[in-house]
């Protein structure tokens, strides 16, 4: 059996949790695990799990006309990385004992955070739900909660939402759709990485984002070609190292509009085209990077840039707290490793 990926497992559990939250206004572990045990990972090879969490439920707030709520859950995860954490196998092995790895603790924190006073994601969902409950009309509202990180991967990284909540409302007086909204969330499980960049194209993308004029960059084109022999691999690695050293020097010395360009680059990497808020489920609690908080940070913070070993680090100029970094892993042949990670620092998370 392949190793269980806690990030993939938590993606599905987050979707279950928020579907229950929308349906019942609160979340209990027993409810999550009951739905969890119905999901057989083998179904992901041909389709997805679909389940009505609430159907035709009448909900009312104060003296306003009642609304009818439907909450539908759809889950498609990577079969190999979640087998054992869902379905009958999970129910037999773990449902009455401790959970797999750190999933139990992360699930506890997720349940604790499912409150509009404790998290931005819960507040956003309650605000979306309450706009119907607080008005003076009766509607039929359908919340479709979809966990499908596989679809996001197929976008090439442009779409960040792993879990989306699609909301549609129909007036009780007719069949016409009177409201439509999509709320995306990007899920992480103790990961600071927001993008993996390829050596050649990744460095060109960074240079463009920072407005750098790269003289004679064509000398590095061979990096994009396949290296087969030991000599070719060694030559390619030297080119990657030369290109990165040149990029690092340009970024650190050319500081024209540095802060704005750095924030714009980081914004695209974190939120993508769909502007998905980040929810990072950790053993110590749930941390968030919201688009609104990021915009305020961008307005109030000026960045400085420097190096830490091979890495390029961007910090808050006032507090010296790291905001993000480009971390590189360069190991010459025979290891022959060249990886570029865009990672967020502790200064980026919503307080």
pLDDT at 212: 93
Q: Which of 8-17, 157-166, 207-216 tops mean pLDDT?
A: 8-17
Q: What is the DSSP letter of 196?
A: E
H-run or E-run covering 232:
helix 230-253
* 20: its two tokens: 């229950």
Is the pLDDT at 22 greater than 60? The verdict is yes
d(CA 306, CA 263): 15
Question: In this model, does residue 1 exceed pLDDT 60?
Answer: no
What mean pLDDT do residues 216-232 have? 92
Residue 96 reports pLDDT greater than 80: no
pLDDT of residue 138: 86
- Can you tell me the mean pLDDT for 115-121? 96
CB 40 within 8 A of CB 90: no
Instruction: Judge whether residue 341 has pLDDT over 60.
Output: yes
Split at pLDDT 50, 70, 90, the class of 204 is: very high
Q: What is the pLDDT of residues 177-190, one digit of tens each?
A: 667 899 999 999 99
pLDDT (mean) for 26-49: 94
Residue 340, Cβ neighbours under 10 Å: how many?
A: 20
| Predicted local confidence at residue 99, as pLDDT | 82
Strands 67-75 and 139-147: parallel
N residues, the chain: 351
Tokens of 152: 């996001």
Q: The tokens 């069949």 sit on which residue?
A: 175
Average confidence (pLDDT) over 196-221: 93
Q: Are strands 67-75 and 177-188 parallel, antiparallel or unpaired?
A: unpaired
On the question of pLDDT at 157 being above 90, the answer is no
* pLDDT reading at 176 higher than 70: no
Of 277, 204, 212, 275, nearest to 240 (Cα)? 204
Q: What is the mean pLDDT of residues 196-201?
A: 93
Sheet with 49-59: strands ordered across: 49-59, 67-75, 139-147, 163-171, 177-188, 277-281, 286-289
Q: Please state, rounded to an integer, the average pLDDT across all residues of the chain.
A: 92
| Helix count and strand count (H, E) for the chain | 11, 12
Which helix (DSSP H) or strand (DSSP E) does residue 287 occupy? strand 286-289
Residue 153 has what pLDDT? 64
At residue 135, the pLDDT reads 87
105-114, 134-143, 285-294: the lowest-pLDDT one:
134-143
Please tell me the predicted confidence (pLDDT) of residue 152. 59
Over the stretch 269-326, which tens digit does the pLDDT of each residue have? 999 999 999 999 999 999 999 999 999 999 999 999 999 999 999 999 999 999 999 9
């Amino acid at each position: 059996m392949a190793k269980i990926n806690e990030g993939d497992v938590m993606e599905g559990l987050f979707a279950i949790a928020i579907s229950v939250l929308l349906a019942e206004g609160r979340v209990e572990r027993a409810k999550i695990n009951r739905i969890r045990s119905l999901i057989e990972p083998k179904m992901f090879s041909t389709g997805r799990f679909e389940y009505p969490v609430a159907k035709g439920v009448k909900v009312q707030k104060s003296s306003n006309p009642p609304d009818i709520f439907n909450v539908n859950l759809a889950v498609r995860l990577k079969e190999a990385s979640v087998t054992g954490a869902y379905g009958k196998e999970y129910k037999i092995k773990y449902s009455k004992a401790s959970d797999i790895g750190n999933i139990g603790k992360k699930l506890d924190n997720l349940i604790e955070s499912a409150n509009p006073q404790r998290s931005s994601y819960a507040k956003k969902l309650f605000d979306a739900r309450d706009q119907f409950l607080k008005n003076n009309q009766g509607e039929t509202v359908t919340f479709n909660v979809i966990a499908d990180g596989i679809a996001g991967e197929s976008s090439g990284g442009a779409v960040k939402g792993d879990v989306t909540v699609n909301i549609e409302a129909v007036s009780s007086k007719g069949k016409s759709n009177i409201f439509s909204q999509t709320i995306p969330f990007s899920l992480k499980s103790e990961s600071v990485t927001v993008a993996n960049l390829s050596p050649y194209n990744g460095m060109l993308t960074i240079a463009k984002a920072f407005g750098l004029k790269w003289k004679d960059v064509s000398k590095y084109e061979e990096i994009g070609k396949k290296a087969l022999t030991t000599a070719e691999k060694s030559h390619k690695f030297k080119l990657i190292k030369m290109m990165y050293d040149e990029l690092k020097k340009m970024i650190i010395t050319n500081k024209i509009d540095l802060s704005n360009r750095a924030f714009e680059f980081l914004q695209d990497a974190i939120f993508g085209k769909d502007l998905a808020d980040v929810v990072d489920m950790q053993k110590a609690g749930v941390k968030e990077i919201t688009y609104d908080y990021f915009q305020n940070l961008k307005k109030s913070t000026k960045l400085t840039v420097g190096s830490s070993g091979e890495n390029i680090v961007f910090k808050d100029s006032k507090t010296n707290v790291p905001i993000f970094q480009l971390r590189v892993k360069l190991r010459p042949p025979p290891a022959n490793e060249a990886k570029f990670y865009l990672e967020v620092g502790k200064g980026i998370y919503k307080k």
